[in-house]
Amino acid sequence: MRLLAAAGAAATIPVATQPVTWDFLGYPYQPGPVFISIIAVAITRAIVFLQTKGRRQILLDVLISTLCALVAALWTQAHELGLLAAGVTGIGIAAIGIGIISMAKGQVGAAIRTGAQAMLKALAGPPNPP
């Protein structure tokens, strides 16, 4: 009888829990969603790697997977995503894979071309009137 009364009393006590947070280089983050996004990246990149036909570039795939895991973890931490959103983010970023490098090269290449054109125009000076 006392055991049931104690269990009933314990069940009615409100418990306030705080989510687990870790610090990395002074930045707090919730480890659960970050780990979920990294695991989703690893699984998706493994599937992509196993479906590759022809010559496999293992080192390139490892580097792309590492980059995808880093981007997914940073995105998850920056936007404080929940578990489901972190998993979907990890899958999406891993599916893009090599596209991340292509997008970065395109943006950097466009910035370099624009800067070079501006520099050449500045070095050429003002146009001479006829």
In terms of C-beta density within 10 A (0-12 exposed, 13-18 middle, 19 or more buried), how is residue 26 classed?
Answer: exposed
Q: How far apart are CA 56 and CA 76, in angstroms?
A: 30
Say if CB 81 and CB 89 are below 8 A apart. Answer: yes
Cα-flanking dihedrals φ and ψ of residue 29, to 5°?
Answer: -150, 160
Measured in residues, the chain has a length of: 130
Task: Report the percent of the chain where pLDDT is more than 90.
Answer: 25
- Cα 20 to its chain centre, rounded Å, is 20
pLDDT number for residue 16: 63
> What confidence tier does 43 reach under pLDDT thresholds 50, 70, 90?
very high
The phi-psi region of residue 104 (left if phi > 0; otherwise alpha if psi is between -120 and 50; otherwise beta) is alpha
Domain ranges across the chain: 20-115
Q: How far apart are CA 91 and CA 85, in angstroms?
A: 10
Instruction: Provide DSSP, 41-105.
Output: HHHHHHHHHHT--SS--HHHHHHHHHHHHHHHHHHHHHHT--HHHHHHHHHHHHHHTHHHHHHHH
pLDDT number for residue 8: 60
Q: State the pTM of this model.
A: 0.63
Tens-digit pLDDT profile for residues 57-115: 788 888 889 989 999 999 998 898 899 999 999 999 998 887 776 777 777 778 888 88
